[in-house]
């Protein structure tokens, strides 16, 4: 079991416990001395009794104008994929439609097979959906970067993917970092699901509105988690950077302009939290309205290591389609990166890769793996999976409907176990046309 640093212990304690109750105790001096002791003697050092290697800033990917550079001075152009669905499940990747966010999926699985089997399924899912072999394979395609979407819940004690305490965010990401380091890939950490929700739709697993922009408590948790992540990975050059939010503020909200006006301040808060611990890593900022609108940004100088990140699905694969992204990039003289793109024909993707290369916009295609096609590797649908999808789409608004529509346990549980086998790389369909279209070799 890993221990928290003193800073982590104090920060978590101060956020989650009313501070006025602490200072009003009868022994404030004892408490103060205890806090001083924690700051002076980090718990990690006491528990582990070993030194952590410290890297100089020269060993990290760095920014110069609109370009990225490797530590050896060679230009670095991002090319790769997203590990979508692994640590932030999305319904369509399981062939669900109405059951389309992580907590909807979790609730449906609980109703179908019970909480104990469901918890076992999620552990097996996380163990097998992405493995060392997947990372080795991604490297073989010519990719140099992986973007990892994750939920903030992986760093809390909220109910998430079969765990309600001692969440395994650092354990899972530490393994991934080790695999990326082994095969020479860089990693972008993308908070896909933020406290309160930054989008208010299925993609951020929230409750229909981006409460992050109106909740001080959610903002404190957002900053706290990023500070803890930064403290944990500040000396890890395999990580290219931290993407603070994915696709904030949808276009259909009537108050989107009001929320757009708050976005940059949220980014500044998150950046300040990271910089308390980590001066090494790049910070990535996505535009409003699904990472497409950069007009809300008025200050590109509040940090010296910023990248802006755009997304695009559909439309024409031409320079004109991304001219606004190019114009903004040129106006701030900082790199622009296409964090998500895909779900199109091989010809379309190949043409768009040419456009992005010609205009110095690196890219990570979405996604690496799902049930179906238009990905690096496709998961074959297990036998009887249709019974799972049917239940996911059925009426489950009353307990009677849940009971009446629930499939036979033996069939449902076997289908879920078969999915675990099917998602292993050795059992997937490699989409060579898709991979070749990305022009990474």
Report pLDDT digits (tens) over 218-259: 999 999 999 999 999 999 999 999 999 999 999 999 999 999
Q: How confident is the model at residue 311 (pLDDT cuts 50, 70, 90)?
A: very high
- If one compares 12 and 263, the residue with the highest pLDDT of the two is 263
With 90 as the cut, is the pLDDT of residue 35 above it?
no
Q: How confident is the model at residue 260 (pLDDT cuts 50, 70, 90)?
A: very high
Q: Residue range 286-310: average pLDDT?
A: 98
**Exposure pattern of 8-33 as b/e (b: 16+ CB <10 Å)?**
bbebeeeeeeeeeeeeeeeeeeeeee
DSSP reduced 3-state for 370: strand
Q: Is 303 exposed, middle or buried (0-12, 13-18, 19+ CB in 10 A)?
A: middle
The predicted pLDDT at position 165 comes to 87
85 vs 367: CA distance, rounded Å: 8
131 vs 106: CA distance, rounded Å: 22
pTM of the shown model: 0.88
With 90 as the cut, is the pLDDT of residue 32 above it?
no
The predicted pLDDT at position 54 comes to 60
The predicted pLDDT at position 105 comes to 98
Q: What is the mean pLDDT of the chain?
A: 90
The predicted pLDDT at position 21 comes to 33
Percent of all residues in the chain with a pLDDT value above 90, rounded to a whole number: 86
Cα 314 off chain centre by: 22
273 vs 220: CA distance, rounded Å: 10
The predicted pLDDT at position 290 comes to 96
**Exposure pattern of 224-234 as b/e (b: 16+ CB <10 Å)?**
bbbbbbbbbbb
- If one compares 16 and 96, the residue with the highest pLDDT of the two is 96
> Which range is least confidently modeled, 45-49, 83-87, 94-98, 152-156?
45-49
Q: Residue range 436-440: average pLDDT?
A: 97
Q: Residue range 74-103: average pLDDT?
A: 97
392 vs 385: CA distance, rounded Å: 11
With 90 as the cut, is the pLDDT of residue 362 above it?
yes
């Amino acid at each position: 079991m890993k221990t928290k640093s003193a800073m982590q212990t104090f920060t978590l304690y101060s956020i989650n416990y009313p501070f006025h109750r602490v200072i009003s105790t009868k022994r404030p001096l004892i408490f103060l001395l205890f806090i001083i002791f924690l700051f002076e003697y980090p718990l990690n050092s006491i528990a582990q009794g070993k030194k952590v290697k410290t890297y100089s800033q020269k060993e990290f990917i760095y920014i110069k104008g609109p370009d990225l550079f490797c530590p050896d001075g060679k230009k670095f152009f991002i090319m790769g994929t997203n590990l979508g669905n692994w640590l932030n499940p999305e319904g369509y990747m399981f062939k669900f439609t109405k059951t389309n966010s992580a907590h909807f999926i979790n609730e449906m699985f609980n109703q179908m097979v019970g909480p104990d089997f469901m918890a076992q399924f999620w552990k097996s899912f996380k163990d097998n959906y992405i493995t060392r072999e997947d990372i080795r394979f991604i490297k073989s395609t010519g990719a140099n970067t992986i973007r990892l979407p994750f939920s903030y819940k992986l760093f809390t004690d909220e109910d998430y993917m079969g765990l309600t305490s001692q969440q395994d965010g650092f354990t899972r990401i530490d393994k991934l970092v080790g695999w990326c380091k082994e095969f020479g890939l860089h990693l972008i950490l993308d908070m896909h699901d933020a406290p309160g929700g930054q989008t208010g739709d299925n993609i951020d697993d929230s409750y229909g509105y981006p409460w992050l922009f109106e909740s001080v408590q959610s903002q404190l948790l957002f900053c706290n988690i990023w500070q803890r992540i930064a403290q944990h990975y500040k000396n890890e050059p395999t990580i290219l950077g931290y993407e603070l939010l994915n696709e904030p503020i949808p276009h259909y909200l009537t108050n989107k302009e009001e929320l757009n006006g708050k976005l940059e301040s949220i980014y500044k808060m998150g950046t300040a939290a990271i910089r308390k611990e980590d001066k090494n890593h790049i910070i990535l900022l996505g535009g409003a309205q699904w990472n497409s609108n950069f007009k809300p940004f008025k200050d590109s100088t509040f940090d010296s290591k910023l990248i802006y990140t755009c997304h695009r699905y559909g439309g024409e694969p031409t320079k004109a389609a991304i001219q606004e992204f190019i114009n903004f990039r040129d106006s701030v003289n900082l790199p622009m990166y296409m964090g998500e793109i895909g779900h199109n024909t091989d010809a379309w993707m190949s043409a768009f890769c040419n456009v992005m290369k010609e205009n110095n916009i690196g890219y990570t295609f979405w996604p690496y793996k799902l049930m179906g096609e238009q990905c690096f590797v496709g998961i074959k649908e297990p036998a009887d999976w249709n019974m799972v999808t049917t239940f996911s789409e059925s009426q489950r608004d009353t307990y009677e409907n849940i009971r009446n529509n629930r499939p036979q346990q033996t069939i449902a549980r076997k289908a879920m176990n078969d999915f675990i086998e099917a998602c292993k790389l050795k059992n997937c369909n490699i989409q060579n046309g898709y991979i070749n279209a990305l022009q990474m070799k």
